[in-house]
Each structure stands twice: as structure tokens, then as C-alpha cells.
Structure 1
Amino acid sequence: MKTKLQALAIILAVLFTCIKCNSTASTSDPKNIVGDVENLLIEKPAHGYVSNLPATKWEEAMITGNGTIGALVMGFPLKERIILSHEKLFMPENPPTPAPDLGGSLDTFRKLILNGEGEKASALSQELGKKVGIDGMIWTDPLIPACQLEIEVLDNETLLNYSRSVNYETGEAATAWTNKSGLFKRTVFTSRTDGLLATKFEGQDGSTSSIRVRLSQLTHDEEQEDEFDTDDLIEEVIYSAAEEGILKYTTRFIKEWEGSLKAYTVETRVTSCDGTMRSDGDWLYLEDCSELTLLTGISLSYEKPVSTETGISQFTNIDYQALLDRHTPIHKEMFNRFSLSLGGNKDLYKTPMQLIRTSSVGTLNNVLVEELCEAARYILISSTGELPPTLQGIWGGTWRPAWSGDFTQNGNVPSAIASGLNTNFQEVIEAHLDYMWSLMEDFRDNAQDLYGAPGIFVPSRSSSSGKTYHYGEEHPHLFWFAGGAWTAHFFYDYWQYTGDEQFLEEKTIPFMLASAEFLEFILTEDENGELMFLPSYSPEVGPLDKHPLSINATMDIAALKQLLRNLLTLVDQGQLDTDKTGKWKQILGNLPAYAIDETGDLKEWIWPGLKNDNSHRHASHLYPLFYEVDPDFKANPELIEAAKTAIEKRLEYRRGKNGAEMAFGLVQKGLAAAHIQDVDHAYECIDWLCNSYWSPAFTAYHDPGEIFNVDICGGLPAVVTEMIIQSSANDLSLLPALPDQWPEGEVKGVRTRCGITMDLTWKNGKPVSALLKANRNTNFHMHFKDHSWEMELKAGQEQNWIME
């Protein structure tokens, strides 16, 4: 039924697109406004889009963000709603709860699971949770919108045309419309230099309008009424509008504890207006305006008494263009560090909806791939500030975001940041590592409180806290042990890409050692003396027809192998002096070998009798292939073939579901396929990722057409780039997983583990030329199929290379 409704919606959108705005256009319902696709009012930016279609829901809004402040710009000409947000606006709902003591019952858990009684083991964990106050699933504090800036045009004139646009190089979201009085335009951006949101309204050739503006609270979605009541969480909301042109909105929370968010304030100031201004209630009225500028700031208060200062008052004597001029170079430089061309035909511009309609699974339009990689990069940059992107970046139009809109560490976050290093946007990795480092005390407490263990335990979810209390009977997250090792990989990979020795010494090595310390503690031995993970949990699935609380998840074993091998590499390089070398080698030699089942499938649990459940969204058993290929796979072609079979089996159920839920599962499979040169499967993942998970505003979804989510904004460019260039510390591979559909192209700004940044051009499926820029002294081997070149560059050196 849902698929039929989605298809009907697309058909209706197509029909609307064919109709030009005319005198019958509704001015009361902004969703009915459809512009003339052949007469767009905004010039197409060099990077970005122009559309004739308005948003039909907040998930289709235009987005802008400076990483800290974000805005969903609906683009309604007469009744605009700009939904404001802040990267740290996690509503205090669930005070950090002590973790249950599972360590005291670890032997019992192990016996129950070995006896096939995972349900009883999980029930025991629930009972232990109740002893510390955990009764049912407790969620992380949710990321909520701050409020909305409403801008209403009071002139009741019929709209004649309409367009909206996002410029990826400036971060500007623009709305333009015409009526009998002329052309009007509203632009919005969030400044990286000044930490504010700027909004400008202007009428062409002196055309004027009367406008009113206010800050207001978002209403509840109808489906949220039964599960959420702001009266339980919000103490008060204070609105005000002053004749001096100042709007203020302050929310104070009921629940509080040490370090929790107590309140936040949004302030909007009119900094220029050529009309008259007055206030009435919570509205500001601005009459006969041909030009208007609004500046908005957001401040968070963690202490009492609550401060309502936002810093906006210092910007009374600066105009919109001056703010834009000093913001744009920073944002533009970030965006343009990386670019991709796959030889698509861009001679005739197509709006996002037009372009989406040119493509379908099996006939993917290369221009769509290019445009979506740009959109993804823009979203990633716009939602990276002090923190990395959450599930929803920094945006949201609901009080109850899916999964609290948090940082989901068991797959979503790794996908969202996956392109940070190889597409030359290391800021997102730095934000992630800084965030995880800031939670080290919580992670240590988790390990101690849960298991009486040394080291750190990284939970599956976090937001305002790193404490672990989120789990349920069918989701035994407290037994997911790979979180620390997976995070340690990003610390280590940052070192490989940047060569930052201070960061390595101060943060990377300590995080890696703490992760290893916990895993060494949690390991046990089977009756033959082989090490094993018991209990063990593979996100978020169990063996076929069995409880998820199980034995020897392949992910646990792979993550530990990767961690210990990386530590040993640091020892060999002289970066780490330790007496644990022998112990780590002993552990590596005594961990279970990767296993293949009777169907040729890579096993997700390395234990007899446990079979894969392949109708599932995650693919965590492919972890050995997510990044650099595990040496065990390199040495064993049968494991490579088993991985290809595993990818095929996890794609089978998706094919009948338009790609199916959880787009980042396709990122996992795509990365794995690219790294073993499984070209057809890698390309199929790209095909689904591009055709099923994007809105007409080039915002991304978690499921086909549903749930605003940014996971694939890092994941899609990562897979595409890994199909074109792959690297390790000593090797660089050109076009290792290039599909026939991309016979020619160019990529610029790819960073590598070899210490170089590369531009590459190819034709007829073969490299033509490259520009190599050394970020440090480096030597490595460059490969294309059976060709190999030895390369050596000094820091700062650039070398042009032509394949002969």
C-alpha cells in the first residue's frame, strides 16, 4: 500500500510540474504553489540546484547550516517557516542512569547462551537493569528543534511564478516569487564566521510588501500526541516582540541534573528595514518594505540563573552581504576541496525532480550520481561543527525524531563520517574524535560498572552523555563489544591520513590501548583453549531463528584483530613502546578463524549451528572489508568468495523492497564490495543509494522516501570514491572497482593513507593522468591492474603523472 501511495505522489508531482503558476494558484496553502519549470526565477548556481516545486513536508525543506546552527527553510513565499536548530540541543529527558552490574553474572550468562537459552540470558539482563532503575528501553536525550521563525507576507496578491534554490558554495537557501507588483526574493544562510543565521527579503525595482515576523514553538505532529507531552518536559516558554525590532524566545526545561541543559534562547533582530515597524503581541509588523534583514542567534544555558544573551546585539551595524562575503570563502573552500565528474551530460539543466525522473534502478543516470555526491557533501559540511552529524545532522522538524536523532555508533555514525578522510573533509572526523574523546570518562565508567572491567566500553548510542543504559530484551546492546575497537579504527585512520604525531601520542594511542584493555578482559576460552566472545552481539540481528544474544560475532573478532594489528604496526614503527607485544600476538594467534557455512556464505557467528539471517538491514560480518582488507582475507581467496556470497544474500531481500530500510546497510555492502573488487555488487549498491533515498530537495532518507537522515551523506561519496581510488600506507590502487557505466571521468581532491592528495582523470576505463600532491614525505607503490609504479615525493611536492 505504501509503495502505491509513493508512486501516486510522484505521478501527481509530475502532473503539477507541467502546470505553470497562474491566477488560480492558491495563496492560502503553500503546498499548492508550483512554479514554471521553463522560467525559473533563480539562476542555477555552479553547485546546487533550482526547483519549481515547494516543500510538501519539513523533510523536503531547503537546508542551511554552519555546523552549529541549522535551519530548515520551507520556501513558502507568503507564509514562510524557518525551523531553527542547534547541534547541542538535546532535550534533557532521561538522566544518566547507572549501568547494571552484568559482570557479577557473567558466568551465568555464558552457561545460558552455551545451552541455547539466549532468551533467559536476556531476561536476566533485564532483571539486573531493574535493580538500578532501568525498567524498559530508555532512550538517549533527543535532538529537538529550537523554534520556528515565521515570516508572513500580508499582501493578498496572486502568485504568478515561484522558484527555490540552494547554493552549495555559499550555503544560501533562496526563495523567489512574482506577483503583479513584481519579483520578490528571500535568502537565508548560516554564517561560519559570525555564528548566526541571516535572512534577507528584497523586492525588485522597489517593489514593496507588508510583512510580519515572529518566533514560535513548533506544534506537535498528530502521531506524537500519545507519546509526547511538552508539559512533562518544558517548564515554560517565553515569547516577546519589541518595537525596537527584537524577537526573543526562551525555553526552560523541567528535568535537570548536573551538567544538563537548563534552557535555551533564540533571538532575532531586525538590522535593516526601509519600511515602518511596530510590535503587536508576539509579532513584529514591518510595513511597505522593499528590503529587510533579520539576524538570528541561539544560545544554550547549562547553569542557573539562565542567561538569555545570544550575542546578536553586536551585529547591529553590518549588512547581509558583508556577512555573506566573509562567510563564503570558508564554506566554499571546504566544499571545493573534492569534486567528481563521471562524464554525464549537463548541457540542459534539470531540476532535482526532473533529474530523479531520468533515473531508475538498472538505468542509473551518471549526472544524478554527481549531483547527489555534491548534495551529500553539502549536507555533511553544513552539519559538522563542534560535534559530528547526528542521525539527522543538526536539523529536525519534530519533537520526537526517529531513534532520538542521536549518535548511533553501531553503524549510522560510521557511515555518516565515512567520506571524511578520503574526500578531504577531515573536519567531520576531527569532530567525531573530539566528541568521543570528551566521553572517555563515561566510557571508562561503563566498562567498570557493567563488567568490573578496565578500559572503555563504547555504547551503541550516545547524545548528551556517553553512559550506557539503552538496551532491551531483543536488542541486547550492553553486550555489543566492538564499539571501542571500531572507534579506535577512526583514531588510527586519522593518523594514517594526516600523520599528526601529536594527536597520535595524546589521543590515538591512549584510546586504542583502552579499547584493547577492555576486549582482553572480556575474552574467555572454549574447552579447547581457543579464545572466544561469549556473550556476543552482532548489531541488530541474531542467528536465524535464535536470540540475538549469542557467541563469537564475526564483527567482534574482526574489530579486535584490526585493533591489535594496528597497535603492533605502531610498535614496529617505533611509535609505541609496550611490553604487551607478545600478549597481543598470542591473542591474534588464538582467535577463531573466519568461517564459511555450507552455502558458501561468510558466517556472522563463528560457532557451530549458528546460521545467518540474511533478510536483515545490517551487514556487520563484512566489517573485515569495510576499510583496509583484513590480511586473513587477502591470504584466502575462499574468504573473498564467501564475502561476495554474503553481499549477494544481503542484497536479495532488498531488491524486492525498493532498496529496503536502512540505507547505510547498502554503504556497508558497497564498501566491502569495492574493497574486494566485486564491481557489480558495489555498483548495485550505488544504484539503490541514488535511486531510492533522496527527496526532491536532495535531502536524504533512512528508508525509501521516509525518515530524514544523513547517514548516506557520508556513505555514498565514500563508496564512489573507494571504487575509483583505494589506499593503504604503502599502496595506491587506481580504478580498482570501476564499473563499465563510468568509462570516463575525473575526480579531484582524494586524500590517501599514502600521504598524498590526488586528482585523477580516466578514459575508456583506464587512467590517463594524475596530479599527486604530497602532504608529507612519502614513498609508495601505485597500481593499476597488473601495472605498478614506485613513487617518492617530498612534503609539499606536486607531481604530474601520465600513464604511458
Structure 2
Amino acid sequence: MRDAVNWEHALVTGNGRQGALCWGTAAEVRLTVSHERLFLPLRAPLPAPDTATILPRLRDLLDQGQYARAAREVCEHAAAGEPAYAETVRIDPLVGAATLTVRPRRPAANLVRSVDPATGLVVLRWRDDCGETRVEVFASRPADAIVVRLSGPGGFAGHLALNLIDGSPPRPVRARTGSGTDGILLTAEFDAAWPGAPPGYRVRCRAVAGDVDGSAVRSDATLIIRTLLPGEPEPDVPGDFDVLFAAHRAAHGELMGRVHLDLAGDPADRAAPTAGLLAQPVGPALVERLFEAGRYAVVSSTGELPPTLQGVWSGTWTPPWSSGYTLDGNLPAVVSALLPTATPELLLPVFDLLEAHRDDLRHNARRLYGARGLLTPVHLSTHGRQNHFGPVWCQTFWTAGAAWMSRLYVDYWRYTGDRAFLRDRALPFLREAAEFYLDFVQVRDGTALFSPSYSPENAPASTGSQACVNATMDVAVVRDLLTNLLRYATGDPAAPAWRSLLAALPGYRVADGLLAEWCHEGLDDQPAHRHASHLWPLWYEPDPLITEDPVLRAAAVATVRSRLAWWAGAESDEMGYGLAQLGLAAAALGLAEEAYGTVVTMASRYWRDNLVPTHNRDALFNVDIAGGLPAVVAAMLVRSAHGRLDLLPALPGAWPRGRVTGLAARDAIRVRELSWEPGRAHAVLWAAERTAVVVGAPPGMTIGGAPQVTLSLPPGQPVTVLLSP
């Protein structure tokens, strides 16, 4: 890789808490550093709009089919009570902390960049008549710092500058920089005076080895860069780059090394530069590389908090959608591969985030709908109040968030078998999530009605308004939530109420041969859309109501194919993670070529040669499909649901041979190895506890002559499964 002239094409390294974007030219290497909690304070959190007082009116409008009027009325009512709601109120954005500029005394024009996902090391190097100059960067997990080594022939010589990132912040940020004998300190102050707002931050660039005097570098040197928020200490860090790197490589490499994918690609392709692979038709080598690159981006941007839209990185004051946490699709997409790729501990920050804002989620439920329980906003960062909505994007009508997040809690338990987590964290969250739906959902003539409702960002063709009733997603997530509560919270006093609401939920609807996006009659589908939220019942443990009903299953298959045809025909510039949604649904239905089609489209349209994906086609640095692509690949190779483990359930013709190690499955099962070739396959299974599981073979193969067998996996002992014609 050659020069990167802006931060969106940078190579990345991160330890979850601290990140660095490595870009620039040989004349001016730039390292833009960031911190997972550095959200620029824009305004104090507002009370969520008090729409509970007008809920009967909103429901009357929706009953009358005045969907757009209902959405506008929310905004008018909110603005009457809080003038700030006259415009869209955005969440606090994730911003970059500072840029360290390295200007070598002897630059050249042939900068070459590389990143090693296995270690997290970024190298920027160039050569002249005197030899090679190198800038090596990694984000140390153990030391919680960005570590930089400058080296060159006869010793590195150059100049350092530490400044705020480029551009103008939407609120004033005052900064001053001071140099000392061991480096540079940048101090930034925010113009934010409300309680709880951070006053600012510091960025410390300290030389721990070499001859560095303030901004002047006179020899090979090691720098430690750390972004510090108020109250964060600055621990001592040893000055030996190699020692620091060895400790980081062990921690980072252990996470990355848990899963390995080998699709038996051409060795020459594996050695090819990423830009070359991206310029060719998608082949096994590119899928392997992006599978690893996606995992690298997510591992590197998961710390105490989960990845934002841009991971842990930012080079702008005004990132798209504020680069916070978008719960109606983006956040679930970026974390979707963490469990199947055996890194469950990296999902815990999602639960920490939700629980840190629990009071705000309760506040939302009361203010918007006069209900108990939890109501998540679509967008959040420094608080969880529902502040971001409008007459078109009527996000106060989206009530599916807590039930969707409940599935992540359940799956953490299903993949890990952690009973303490189930008891102490999962079930309390699920119970409180269900309280909201017990209060909010109306039951009319024995049938549940979700009014208002919202299918993320899509509008029925018959109305043109995103406001609606009975979105299929809402019905599906609540069915999943109540089913799991009745399964795991045995003997709970609320069980009769859960059971009653579950029985009242409307069935899935078929319209024009497709699975309808709205269960409500009269709301016609709009299939030319980037989201596929009505396929939610197939993204996790497929809903048997769909997979075991021939009519609904056929409708779901037709829906996947219809949406894929739209993506192909439109040459879409839409969000990439919609393809991950389709891929997970296709894999759940055993649609191998359709699932593969989503992988090909993600790989060919939404990745740059810096190994970071984009939100739109070659636009908007974004990590959603960094989780989505590996999740779809994993789902094509292993499917686990409802006590069943299917091997190679959606294996495409493009991968006739291959091997994957380390994938995880529900019921705390690990697929330590899965290898295959035409007509044959070999798997090694391992379970944490004695587990009975039905193991299924793909079409064209059997297990001992049968399409499936029931195995009792002993605790902690590998069991080999052979598949043959």
C-alpha cells in the first residue's frame, strides 16, 4: 500500500480503548490518535419527549391511517415542551483526540504501508540511497498506549508536532501544546458547563527511548502516546519497544488466533497485495483476508465499550451519524461475529453499555409511553435518552431495541454456558424488557397490536411514511424475548402474563409470495430497500414458525432472493450491513449460493485496501461489516440452534475445499476443526459440559449413512465426526 492522503484511508491499530490512524506521506507521516470515550459534548441530555400524554391521539391517527400525521405530531408536541426539539437533536460524536505529525529530515516519495492483523503492528517505511527509514506503530493492550518506534539509517532525525485534528469542531475546543525534554503535551478544554460533561482531555506524547528534546528527534526513538480523560492516571511504561510489542502481541494474538479460516485458495493470491485482490473477481484468498481483517478491526476497537460506527477511530469533528451506537442495526452487525468466532468476552461491553444507561432506558419508557421497563433509543453515546428523532425518521416509534438486545444476552449464555451471567445479568434485563411490552402492547380482539411501530428506515409502499403499526420486526423480537423468558425464568410470577402476550402475537404474513415486512393488512411491502428487518427471525436461532412452515419458509426464501436481486440490479450505493442481514438469513435457510452472493458483494463493494470497510460503496469509514462479513461466513460453515448443530449448512460451490478451526456454537460447543473436500468432511467437536446435540450433515453427505445423528458430547473431550457420501 502506498500513500494515504486522508484519515479515511489510514491503516488502523487499536487496543479497544486507544486507537491510531496511520496515514500521510513519507514527507509527513501522521498518526491520529483517539480514545473510546472521547465524545465531544454538544449539549446536556434532554428529557425524552413526553408523548405518553398524547399516546391515545397518536394511536387514533394510526388507526385512521394517518401515519405521517402521527409522526409529525410527535415532533410538534416535543418542540412545544422543549424548543431544542424544533430541530434534530444529535448525540455527542466520537472525535479524534490529536494528530502527531512526524516530519523526517530525510523524506522520500516512496512510502510503503503495511498492517499485520495477527499482531496489530502498522509499519510505514521508505528507502533512499542511505537505507530504510521506518515508523512502526501498535496500540498496546497491556500498556494501554500507542507505541511508536522511529528508526532510520544512522539514526532517525526529524521533527514532531502534536495538534488537534483538522477541521472545525461544532462546539469550541481550546487547546494548548507544551514541549519538554521528554516530549509534548496537548491539553484540550471543552466549552461544556452542564453537570456530567467532561471538561476536556490531554494527549501525552512521551519519549521513553532515544534522543528527543521536545519536538526534535535526533536518534532512533520510542514514543508512548496516550489520550487521557479527566481522572485517568498516566502509568509508567518501560521504554523497550520490543518488550512492549512482545507483551501486546501475546494478548492481541491470542484473541485473533482463536479462529483460522483456510479456503484452499491459490497461494499466489494469498501473497498478492490487497489492492490487487480487490481489483479482481472475489476469490477464496480475498474472503480469507477480509474475514481476518474484519475480526482485526472489531478486536482492535473493543475495549470497555463496544465499537462505535467507526470503531475506536476518528479523524473528524463531525463523523456521520455522530459515530455513536446505532441499535437498530449497526451495533448488532458489528458484534455479530464475536460469539461464533469464540471471543465472547468482547460482547460484554455491549451489556456494560446498556446497563450503564439503564436509568435513561427506564426514563424513555415512562416519558414516551407511560410504561414500566426499558426502551432503548436508536442512537446513543454519552447517555441513553431518546433525543434523536424527526418527522421522517420517526425513531420514537421504534420499540424493538430492548427485546433485540435481550437476544444478545441470551446468546452470550447459550455460547458460554455461564449460569451466573444468565442469573445475574441476562434474566434481570429480559424481565425488565418484557415489562415494557406488557404495558405498551395493546390486545384487541385477542390479537396483539404494536402501535406505534417502526421497521427501521423503510416505509410501506402504500403510505410512504415510516410510521406504521405491527412491523414484523417488533412482533418477532418480542416473540423471541417471551419464549426465552418462559424457557429460562422458570417459576417467575410474571410467567402467566408473558404466556398470554405470547399467545396473542399476530402470525407472520405472506404478501405477493414474500414474507411481509408489516404484519398489518394494508401496509404494502417496499422490497427495494437496504434494510431487511422482517428477516430478523432468521438472524440468530431461526424461528421454527418460519422454518417449519412450508408456506412461510418459501416466502422467506423468496424474500432473500428478491432483496438480493435489488442489490444486484441497483448497483447499490447503500449501507453494506444490509447484506450481512441477508447473508445470515440465507445461511439459516440453507441458501448457499445466496449467502455467498452477499459475501461477494460485501467484499467487492465495501472494502478498501487499508483493510477497513466502508458504510457506502467506497465512502464513509465504517466497521459494521467488519463484524458482518465474518458472521455470515461462520454461519455458512456452522449453524447451531434449538439443540441442533449443522455442519456446512450453506457451503457454496466456490469453496469446494477448506478448513476452519475454533468456531463456537450454542450449548457451549466448540468446533475445534472442520475440514472438507468434495463429498467428505471431518469435524472435531468439544463441549464444556456433557451435552446432547443433533449433528446434521449437508446435502450430499451423511454421518455414518444417516443425514443426522444424536451425539452425547462428554465434558472437555474432543469427539470426531466423519461425513461421507
Bin for the TM-score computed over the shorter chain: over 0.9
Question: Unaligned regions of 5+ residues in structure 1, if any?
Answer: 1-50, 221-228, 302-306
Residue 493 of structure 2 corresponds to residue 538 of structure 1 = no
8 Å CA contact retained: 1:437, 1:507? no
Counterpart CA distance in 2 for 1:83 and 1:657 is 36
Cα drift, residue 481 of structure 1: 0.9
Contact 2:126 2:134 in 1 (8 A): yes
| Equivalent residues in 2 for 1:2-17, closer than 5 Å | none
Give the aligned residue type for 1:502: A
> CA offset at residue 396 of structure 1?
1.2
Q: Displacement of 1:774 after TM fit?
A: 1.9
Maintained 8 Å contact 1:99/1:132: no
State how far apart, in whole Å, the 2-side matches of 1:209 and 1:325 are.
Answer: 23
Partner of 2:303, secondary structure, is coil
Task: Quote the residue 2:178 is aligned against.
Answer: 240
SS in 2 for 1:74: strand
Q: Which residue of 2 aligns with 1:150?
A: 101
Displacement of 1:681 in angstroms is 1.7
CA contact (8 A) 2:333 2:628 kept: yes
For 1:517, the equivalent position in structure 2 comes to 435
Mean Cα displacement is larger for which, 442-451 or 556-565? 442-451
- How far apart, CA to CA, are the structure 1 residues paired with 2:494 and 2:224? 57
| CA positional deviation for 1:57 | 2.5
Q: Which amino acid aligns with 2:247?
A: R
Aligned residue number for residue 788 of structure 1: 708
In 1, are the aligned partners of 2:453 and 2:471 still within 8 Å (CA)?
A: yes
- Identify the range of structure 1 (209-218 vs 89-98) with the bigger mean alpha-carbon deviation: 209-218
Which residues of 2 match residues 665-704 of structure 1 at below 5 A? 665-704=578-617
Q: Distance in 1 between matches of 2:569 and 2:546?
A: 30
Whole-Å separation in 1 of the counterparts to 2:589 and 2:108: 58
Distance of aligned partners of 1:325 and 1:488 in 2 relative to their CA distance in 1, 3 Å threshold: same
Output the CA distance in 2 between the equivalents of 1:95 and 1:723. Answer: 45
**Contact 2:416–2:667 (Cα < 8 Å) also in 1:** no
8 Å Cα contact 1:178-1:184 kept in structure 2: yes
Q: 2:504 aligns with which of 580, 587, 590?
A: 590
Shift of 1:638: 0.9
Report the 3-state secondary structure (helix = DSSP H, G, I; strand = E; otherwise coil) of the residue aligned with 1:790.
Answer: strand
* Aligned twin of 1:387: 305
Query: Which of 335, 344, 357 is the matching residue for 2:279?
Result: 357
- The within-5 A match list for 1:645-660 is 645-660=558-573
- Which of 656, 680, 683 is the aligned partner of 1:743? 656
Are the aligned partners of 1:234 and 1:254 in contact in 2 as well (CA < 8 Å)? yes
How big is the shift at 1:114? 1.5
The whole-number CA distance in structure 2 between the counterparts of 1:532 and 1:162 is: 61
Contact 1:237 1:252 in 2 (8 A): yes
Instruction: Map 1:167-316; keep pairs closer than 5 Å.
Output: 167-204=116-153, 207-220=154-167, 229-230=168-169, 233-242=171-180, 244-273=181-210, 275=211, 277-279=212-214, 284-287=215-218, 289=219, 291-301=220-230, 311=234, 314-315=236-237
Q: What is the one-letter code of the residue matched to 1:259?
A: G
Question: Conserved in 1, the CA contact under 8 Å of 2:509 and 2:515?
Answer: yes
Deviations 1:680-719 (A, max 9, x none): 2211111101110001111110011000000001110111
Count of aligned pairs: 713
Q: 1:259 and 1:503 mapped to 2: Cα distance?
A: 30
Quote the residue 1:396 is aligned against.
314
1:82 aligns with 2:5: no
487-496 or 209-218, which deviates more: 209-218
Residue 75 of structure 1 deviates from its aligned partner by 5.2
Task: Show CA shifts across 1:143-195 (max 9, x none).
Answer: 0000101110123x654x44211111221100111111111111000110011
Supply the distance in 1 between the matched residues of 2:501 and 2:91 (Cα, whole angstroms). 35
Could you tell me how far apart the structure 2 residues matched to 1:171 and 1:456 are? 38
1:1-150, aligned counterparts within 5 Å? 51=1, 53-74=2-23, 76-130=25-79, 131-133=81-83, 134-150=85-101
Question: One-letter code of the match for 2:102?
Answer: I
Q: Of residues 371, 385, 396 in structure 2, which corresponds to 1:478?
A: 396
- Report SS of the residue matched to 1:144: coil
Contact 2:6–2:24 (8 Å) recurs in 1: no
Contact 1:297 1:310 in 2 (8 A): no
Aligned-partner residue type, residue 216 of structure 2: Y
Partner of 1:802: 722
Whether the 8 Å CA contact 2:108–2:126 is kept in 1: the answer is no
Identity of aligned residues (%): 34
User: What is the CA RMSD across the aligned residues, in angstroms?
Assistant: 1.6
Aligned residue identity for 1:796: G
Say whether the 8 Å CA contact 2:657–2:677 is kept in structure 1: yes
Question: In the TM superposition, what is the alpha-carbon distance from 1:511 to its structure 2 partner?
Answer: 0.6
* 3-state secondary structure, aligned to 2:515: coil
Contact 1:421 / 1:751 at 8 angstroms: preserved in 2? yes
Offset from partner CA, 1:524-569 (integer Å, 9 cap, x none): 133x332111111110111114111111100000001011111111
Aligned residue identity for 1:536 = S
Structure-2 change in CA distance of 1:503 and 1:761 (3 Å): closer
Match for residue 224 of structure 1? none
- What is the alpha-carbon distance in structure 2 between the residues aligned to residue 257 and residue 490 of structure 1? 34
1:158–1:180 Cα contact (<8 Å) kept = no
Is the 2:648–2:697 contact (alpha carbons within 8 Å) kept by the matching residues of 1? Answer: yes
1:621-673: per-residue Cα shift (whole Å, max 9, x none)?
11111111112113311111111222222223321343431111001111011
Q: Kindly indicate whether residue 371 of structure 2 is the aligned counterpart of residue 453 of structure 1.
A: yes
- Is the contact between residue 62 and residue 75 of structure 1 (CA under 8 Å) also seen in structure 2? no
Structure 2 counterpart of 1:20: none
Query: What one-letter code is carried by the residue in structure 2 that aligns with 1:238?
Result: R
Which letter does structure 2 place at the counterpart of 1:203?
Answer: G
Paired with 1:465 and 1:504, the residues of 2 have a C-alpha distance of 25
- TM-score, normalised to structure 1's length? 0.86
* Cα separation, 2, equivalents of 1:310 and 1:741: 52
Q: Which moved more, 1:689-698 or 1:781-790?
A: 781-790
Equivalent residue of 1:642, what SS? Answer: helix
**Any unmatched runs of 5+ in structure 2?**
699-705
Greater Cα offset, 751-760 or 651-660: 651-660
Offset at residue 234 of structure 1 (A): 2.7
Alpha-carbon offset, residue 463 of structure 1? 0.4
**How does 1:599-610 map onto structure 2 within 5 Å?**
599-610=512-523
CA–CA distance in structure 2, aligned partners of residues 77 and 142 of structure 1: 31
2:242 maps to 1:329? no
Aligned-partner Cα distance in 1 for 2:200–2:60: 48
Does residue 341 in structure 1 map to residue 259 in structure 2?
no
Distance in 2 (alpha carbons) for counterparts of 1:476 and 1:95: 22
Aligned letter for 1:589? Answer: A
Give SS of 2:292's match: helix
Cα distance in 2 for residues equivalent to 1:65 and 1:199 = 13
Range 792-801 or range 317-326, more displaced: 792-801
Residue matched to 1:436: 354
Which letter maps to 2:547? K
Q: Among 409, 412, 425, which residue is 1:507 paired with?
A: 425
In 1, Cα distance between equivalents of 2:156 and 2:430: 60
Matched to 1:293, the amino acid is T
Change (3 A) 1:352 1:508: same
Task: Give CA deviations for 1:214-240 in whole Å, capped at 9, x if unaligned.
Answer: 2111221xxxxxxxx53x623521111
Say which is worse superposed, 210-219 or 582-591, in terms of deviation.
582-591
